[in-house]
Amino acid sequence: MRMDDGFEMTIDGRSVAGSDFIDVINPATGQVFAMAPDCSPDQLDKAVSGAKKAYLSWRSRPLDERRDMLIRASKVLAENAEALARTFTREQGRPVQGALVEIRGAVDWLRAVSQMTPPVHVSEDSDAQRVETRYVPLGVVCAVAPWNFPIAMAVWKMAPALLAGNTIVLKPSPYTPLCTLKLGEMFRDIFPAGVLNVVSGGDQLGPLMTTHPGFAKISFTGSTATGKSVLAAAARDLKRVTLELGGNDAAIVMPDVDLDAVAQKIFFGAFYNTAQICVATKRLYVHEQVYEGLRDRLLKLAKTVKVGDGANQGTVLGPIQNKRQYERVLGLLEDARTNNLTILQGADVPTNGGYFVPITIVDNPPENSRVVQEEAFGPILPMLRFNDIDDVIERANASDYGLAGAVWSKDIEKGVEVARRIETGTVWVNQNLNLRPDTPFSGHKQSGFGVENGIEGLLEYMAPQTIYIARA
């Protein structure tokens, strides 16, 4: 498959051009480099009605046939990984190697999810009756994805939704539509017409979808603010909803750590993908005994890691993905400057019109400063000193978010004890950013609603149906 040809939607098994177009910008240059279709309301209706029609036969296919198609999809994605990675880098900004990590991760994800089987529970099996609960699909799924991990987030939704027997209309972010449109194209001949639809468009398309009466379920990943609008939109028809939202994840570094062993891991736990990861470390609490040592090591890394155009050899971190996010990060930096916070910065970044910000550490800002309280979603990390474990856990938990967190300590038992007290859906001890297809991922508090991944995530695309059979 060629990746530099036109980008079209997949609607009811066909390739469909937009009635209009949206610009796609390369964040490393700030320049428009491609156009993506802008799905009209009429085209969306066609996608939903095609998906509804396809649902009737898709849900009754044997599970093994649906599994096989997901495995075929994983193979096609693997075959196209390199070409897709180049498109990924141009639209998302991440260096090609990192793009490949995401694409190959999605290949594994498709394969792993394809092997899942929804459970059947038997509550009673006696001479009098059998009571059996199994899980049935919901209908047409509306899937809305963000721009930071466009392929992974699309696959996290598509794989369980389709395995469960639903059909889907998938919408990427307006900032990163191209790779997802290519996924639709790659998989078009694998799934029956109408099973997988991919539409793209501007800011109006998301609300048009979440209020569309044809959907039974919304699976949304994005910011907490948008998640609240999505939940409100879903209420009208009582659509089922899964929301994976923002985070302001704390990492706690205990005094016993081996700084040389952990500094690089902590650095990339905060700054990988230019810090645009929902589960990145966004507040770094460091015990006073190791504070300066860690700060100096992180700053040294910030000065050596190459930030630039992801298409260039040797680039480790790319630009911020879009102008809105770039301006938001610049705003946080400005706020830190205005409040005379100590700002430490890494190497210079290109000044060519791309959305680049140097890697920035804010040295022990007050707990109530914006850079600590808000999700930056960009390379500006507050480092905060602590000397009392109960106090730091209270500070880590003093957030409306509850997505993930990390604890770094040589004493694993102590690390786990601290991890258990952190009020988030995922906590890592001496590692970071590690997520698995077979393990539930769930934001607590305002970081989410429901679960993705694992059997629990699969069951979010299904409803229990209990059958009582009298035998007497």
Positions that interact with ligand NAD (CB under 6 A): 144-149, 171, 173-174, 206-207, 210, 221-223, 226, 229-230, 244-247, 278, 375, 377, 403, 443, 448
What's the start-to-end Cα distance of the chain, in Å? 61
d(CA 463, CA 138): 7
Helix axes 150-163, 96-114, angle to 10 degrees: 10
CB atoms inside a 10 Å sphere around CB 388? 11
Other CB atoms within a 10 A radius of the CB of residue 6 amount to: 13
Compute the distance between CA of residue 441 and CA of residue 161 in angstroms, rounded to an integer. Answer: 16
Query: What's the closest the beta carbon of residue 118 comes to ligand NAD, in angstroms?
Result: 22
Distance CA 115, CA 45 (A): 32
Minimum CB distance to ligand NAD, residue 388 (Å): 29
Smallest distance from the beta carbon of 464 to ligand NAD, in angstroms?
A: 25
The SS3 call for residue 428 is strand
Contact 211, 23 (CB under 8 A): no
Output the smallest distance, CB 299 to ligand NAD, in A.
25
- Tell me if residue 244 is catalytic: yes
Nearer to ligand NAD, 114 or 173 (CB): 173
If the CB atoms of residues 145 and 270 are measured against ligand NAD, the closer one turns out to be 145
3-state secondary structure of 273: helix
Of the two residues 55 and 156, which places its CB atom closer to ligand NAD in the complex? 156
Pairwise CA distance, residues 87 & 174, whole Å: 15
Would you say 67 or 212 has its CB closer to ligand NAD? 212
Among 244, 375, 452, 460, the one annotated catalytic: 244
Q: Quick check: 232 and 266 in contact, CB under 8 A?
A: no
CA pair distance 166, 56, nearest whole angstrom: 9
What type of residue sits at position 321? Q
CA distances from 212 to 113, 207, 235 (A): 28, 8, 12
Task: State in angstroms the smallest separation of the CB of 298 from ligand NAD.
Answer: 22
In the complex, least distance from residue 222 CB atom to ligand NAD, rounded to whole angstroms: 3
H or E stretch covering 159? helix 150-163
Minimum distance from residue 443 beta carbon to ligand NAD (Å): 5
Nearest residue to ligand NAD on Cβ basis = 206
DSSP 123-158: EEESSSEEEEEEEEE-SEEEEE--SSSHHHHHHHHH
Determine the length of the chain. Answer: 472
Catalytic member of 278, 375, 452, 460:
278
Residue (74 or 273) nearer to ligand NAD, CB: 273
Comparing CA positions, the residue from 241, 39, 58 lying closest to residue 137 is: 58
Between 76 and 406, name the residue whose CB sits nearer to ligand NAD: 406
Q: Which of 95, 102, 115, 103 is nearest to 75 (CA)?
A: 103
Phi and psi for 230 in degrees, rounded to 5? Answer: -65, -45
Q: Pick from 464, 462, 457, 463: which is nearest to 243 by CA?
A: 457
* Residue with smaller CB distance to ligand NAD, 219 or 409: 219
Cα separation, 234 vs 334, in Å, equals 37
C-beta closer to ligand NAD: residue 112 or 259: 112
d(CA 75, CA 245): 30
For residue 217, the minimal CB distance to ligand NAD (Å) is 14
Residues with active-site annotation: 244, 278
